Structure formats: C-alpha cells, structure tokens
Amino acid sequence: MKNNKRYSIFSLARNARKYHENWAEAWRSPEPKPSYDAIIVGGGGHGLATAYYLAKEHGLTNVAVVEKGPIGLGNTGRNTTVIRSNYLWDESAAIYELSLKLYEGLSQDLNFNIMLSQRGLISLAHNQHDMREIQRRVNAIHLNGIDSEMLSLAEVRELVPILNMSPNSRYPVVGASIQRRAGIARHDAVTWGYARGADARGVDILQHTEVTGFRIQSGRVEGVETSRGFIAAPKVAVAVAGHSSVLAEMAGFRMPIQSHPLQALVSEPLKPIFNTVLMSSTVHVYLSQSDRGELVMGAGIDGYNSYAQRGSPMILEDMLAAAVELLPVFSRVKMMRQWGGIVDVCPDASPIIGKTPVSGLYFNCGWGTGGFKAIPGSGFVFAHTIAKGEPHEIAAPFSLDRFTTGALIDEHGAAGVAH
C-alpha cells in the first residue's frame, strides 16, 4: 500500500489507469505504543474530530484514538445526518453555529467530500402554540446572527409541493420556519474524512481495542487498561456517547446521563421528490431524502433505558403515522431498514464537555439525539480543552459543574421534537 496521498482529479485519473488497484489505505492500523501524550476513547465522529483538531490546531500528534469496534459504527453511522444550528439559547447557538461553519468548509479542509447539502430545514407549526414558539425561536436565533426566518404557507407549498396542506387534515399546517443553511451530509464520509486527516498528521487509530478500565493514582489519570494491554497517557479524553455512564463508573464518578434507544428507518429508493429536511414537533417526525433516493426518518427516543441498539415497534408506528399524515403521497412506500442507536441524554438536553473529578480525564458526552450536527464544533472545542487544560470559551458553559451550580442550558425544545 502507498502513502496516504492527497485526493485530486489527477490522483483519480492516475488510479483509473491502474484499474483502481493501487489506492492507498485511508488510515493505518498501527500497533499500540506503550504511551501517548493523549488518548481519545471512542472512534466515532466526536472522538476522531477531537484527534484531528488536537493535531491540526494544537500540534499534538502523539495521540491515539482507542475504539472497541471499527470506527464510526456507533451513533455516527446510525443517525439521520441532519445538520443545523437553529438553537434557542446563546450557549447552544455558539457551539452549533461554530459546528455548522466548520461543516461548510470541511470537504476542503479534510480533502474528503462529505457531501454536505445545505438544502434547508423546515419546522412546521400546526396550532397557535406552535406558531408562537417557532416565532420566538426565529427571533432569538436571528439575534444571535444565525439565519432563520418564517415562511408563509404559500412559500411552504412551493418548497414542499407534496406536503398535505389541507385545512381539513387532523393537524393542519398553519405556518413554518426555515434555516436555509441547514441540511444533511454523508455521515460515513465525516468519520472517514476525520480519520484520514488525523492519521495523516500522525494520530494512531487503534480499532478493536476496548477500554476495560482507567489507571488512576491519587486522583490523576495515568492511562487506560485495554483489551490490548495498558496504554499510558497523562491526558485521557472520553467521547463514547451511550456508554459514558459505564466509563464514568470505571473512573469512579457518576454522570447525569440516561442511555436511551433512538430509532431511525429508511425507505426503498425513490426518484428525487423532496429536497428539504422537514420537521414537525406536533405530529413528531423528521425526514429527508438521501442522495440515494431513500427517505430517511426519525422521531423520539424510547422511554426506557437501554444499551441494546434497538427499541420498540410502537415508536416506529407513531413515526410512520406522522410521516403519512404530513406526506400522504408516501403511504405505499416500503421501508427497507430500521435500526436503533444508544443516545446519551442529559437532564437539560445539552452536552457535557470538559473536566471531570479525575485530573487529566476529560469527558465529551450528553449530545443525546443531536450529536452528528455538532461533530466539528465539539471536536474543535474539546481539542482546545484537552490541549490547554482549560475549557474553550464556547465549551465552558457545558461543564459537568452546571448540575451543581444550577446553570442548566435547557434545550428540550431544540430538536423541534421531544427528547
């Protein structure tokens, strides 16, 4: 295998001449070194982005990403790929907008096409309460300098001609808001792009290496015990989403996290019919059409705690009922695949980024149902926090301490769907 070369029209032509048999591996599979300057636990989007920005922004390249399976097969490969930054509170607006801005330049930055499609995201209102709520949000979001506007019914009809706009429907559409810069991206490409970018800068990506414990001496982390032996590091950063409570318990403290299944499903491929992301909190579904033509949809979490990556069928039934209510044209579309991911939900539906009671041990978790959109921003501020030992100013409000001080950031309404 050749070195990790830059992708370009010339490399494509060069490899086409050799029947595409000589493409280099996108990242190495090295043996673990006995020690690193920092270890990232979790090879999903957040972990890999953190490693990438540690290397790129802070020159910290003696770094390992430790992943129990193959990279990107947890929530990063299971979400509905929606990207947006229309959050209510200032703290959230700052981090999700940083993330969206990084996403906008990410394909160039990573030299890897993440297939970002800023097709706009429409949130529907079905009653007077919904209207007041989305108007309040549009104004608050606008004041933070983020694009956000109300749509007239005529505009909604023009953007989504297949939407059921009948005043006689069970939940008639009475208005909508839109973030035009929102959209979707290819989730696997985000994983692969960050992995390749981090690897090219010297980061070791250790797949099939499961963390079984932390070595902690007098309140300070010294490294991680793994299925491939002990690996030492003065800084350990954990980004494991649904398993955050399990790793926190290994380190001897408690987290305000509940792990729930979040289900999604995709349909058979259809011809292009639907070119925005559509979201409704009242009938409770969000859906978009992927570049492959599949309808991708999701709704709320299952009510019970689970680590099983599957949920109950009644959740899917509600989701499909909502989709057919909004878009009756899809009533005979066949659903092809259905799955669940384990999301880490915080009491205030906002993430936890930063220090823990153990010195040198950092956690980045609690992204709940909306982690994919946050990957670049989360990795950027988490890398800063790890490198400097102090929280990045955008990450600071999301400390674990806020559950003691009471400075919660309540984003329960943020998804436009219940958490």
DSSP, res 35: B
Distance in Å, CB of 243 to another protein, minimum: 7
Distance in Å, CB of 316 to another protein, minimum: 11
Kindly tell me which of 237 and 248 has the beta carbon lying closer to another protein: 248
114 C-beta neighbours (distance < 10 Å), count: 23
Footprint of another protein on this chain (CB under 8 A)?
243, 245-246, 249, 254-259, 303-308, 312-314, 347, 403-406
CB 262 within 8 A of CB 301: yes
Distance in Å, CB of 281 to another protein, minimum: 20
Distance in Å, CB of 302 to another protein, minimum: 9
Kindly tell me which of 136 and 304 has the beta carbon lying closer to another protein: 304
Distance in Å, CB of 306 to another protein, minimum: 5
Q: Which two tokens stand for residue 105?
A: 């330049």
How far, in Å, CA of 87 to CA of 248, rounded?
28
Residue at 242: amino acid letter: G
Kindly tell me which of 249 and 268 has the beta carbon lying closer to another protein: 249
Rounded to the nearest 5°, which phi and psi values hold at 181? -80, -10
How far, in Å, CA of 80 to CA of 82, rounded?
6
Kindly tell me which of 24 and 246 has the beta carbon lying closer to another protein: 246
DSSP character string of 213-239: EEEEETTEEEEEEETTEEEE-S-EEE-
Half-sphere exposure in the Cβ direction for 303 (13 Å, CA): 3
Kindly tell me which of 229 and 313 has the beta carbon lying closer to another protein: 313
How far, in Å, CA of 385 to CA of 387, rounded?
6
Half-sphere exposure in the Cβ direction for 291 (13 Å, CA): 12
Distance in Å, CB of 174 to another protein, minimum: 29
How far, in Å, CA of 65 to CA of 47, rounded?
7
Kindly tell me which of 27 and 363 has the beta carbon lying closer to another protein: 363
Kindly tell me which of 124 and 240 has the beta carbon lying closer to another protein: 240
Q: Which two tokens stand for residue 400?
A: 């674990």
Distance in Å, CB of 253 to another protein, minimum: 9
CA 278 vs. chain centroid, Å, equals 18
